[in-house]
Amino acid sequence: MKWLLPILLATSGCFSSWAITQASGNQRILDERVRAEHVPVPGVHERLGVSMPLAPEYKIVPAGVATEPLPFALRCRSTQTATDTVYRAGFRYGSTWKKVTALMLALEAGIAAAAYFGGDPTKPGTQVAVGFFGLDALGTAALLFVPRKEIYRRDVEPVVSTLRTDCPAGLLLDVAGETFPVDAAGRIGELGEAALDAWMRAPTTLPIRVTYREHVIDLAIGHNEVCTWNRTRHEDPCPAYWVRSPAIAGSVEVPMGTLTQLP
């Protein structure tokens, strides 16, 4: 009976699997030949996302090869977000379903018969195998007579498109009221890096934020973020409750077409 154990572990009952999909509300995995039509919904939103690394970043190189940290740079991502109404049509319990169900019926009946005639009927393991696969085979046989069911469904799905990954012209990093221009690659210059490092060494109540025209992205910098910066860049000790925070990010919605105008 040792040969039967891998089969029992690897095989789940067809009828029991079907019952689980019904109880869990996942019947759509049984859909066959689904046709989908996407209809855009009016209303598109444009967003600018900015992230600032706290720990130094390194270029990926072969193991054992020393490398210098990459220059400090912000990362920008401009996106457009919309929604589509998706109309789907298909069916369940068609010819593919019948063929698979018939195959599973033969398999389960064979396993139940092999367990009964090839094992010791007095052992609990054999009784469980015969009972489970025997009863499941009866349920699987009943599934062969389930009529074909046509499916029509409407879903609403988000659609996110990345427009550009460079930083737009006019982006500024505000460090405690002092602003530094951000170039297309996300660099803020030596003065900007020095001001940011000085703020991290001695944080003040004045915030660090990113501004783009009249839009403001506040960067939430707490104890974990400050500690990550100072520990990874200056090897300062951190308290026991410190949690590494490699980067901080934020985003803001802007009027449509703002970010698609290339500089």
pTM for the predicted model, two decimal places: 0.65
Domain contains 158: no
Q: Is 166 in a helix, a strand, or coil?
A: coil
Looking at the fold, whether 63 and 188 belong to one and the same domain comes out as yes
pLDDT confidence of residue 67: 73
Task: Find, among 231, 74, 103, the residue nearest to 168 by Cα.
Answer: 74
Tell me which residue range forms the domain holding 120: 4-30+95-146
Q: List, in order, residues 6 or more apart from 223 with CB less than 8 Å away.
A: 239, 242
pLDDT confidence of residue 117: 79
Domains held by the chain: number: 2
Q: List, in order, residues 6 or more apart from 7 with CB less than 8 Å away.
A: 111
Task: Find, among 46, 25, 53, the residue nearest to 186 by Cα.
Answer: 53
Looking at the fold, whether 237 and 121 belong to one and the same domain comes out as no
Q: Report residue 184: phi and psi, to 5°.
A: -60, -30
Looking at the fold, whether 53 and 10 belong to one and the same domain comes out as no
pLDDT confidence of residue 3: 44
Looking at the fold, whether 22 and 113 belong to one and the same domain comes out as yes
pLDDT confidence of residue 208: 92
pLDDT confidence of residue 174: 94
Amino acid symbol at 72: F
Looking at the fold, whether 187 and 112 belong to one and the same domain comes out as no
Looking at the fold, whether 132 and 248 belong to one and the same domain comes out as no
Block means of pLDDT (10 residues each) for the chain, 263 residues, are 43 73 79 88 91 87 70 93 92 85 83 77 74 80 86 91 91 93 94 94 90 91 90 83 85 86 55
Looking at the fold, whether 75 and 101 belong to one and the same domain comes out as no
Q: Is beta strand 215-218 parallel, antiparallel or unpaired with respect to 178-181?
A: unpaired
Radius of gyration of the chain from its Cα atoms, rounded to whole angstroms: 30
Domain contains 63: yes
Q: Is 168 in a helix, a strand, or coil?
A: coil
Looking at the fold, whether 20 and 135 belong to one and the same domain comes out as yes
Domain contains 109: yes
Q: Is 49 in a helix, a strand, or coil?
A: strand
Domain contains 54: yes
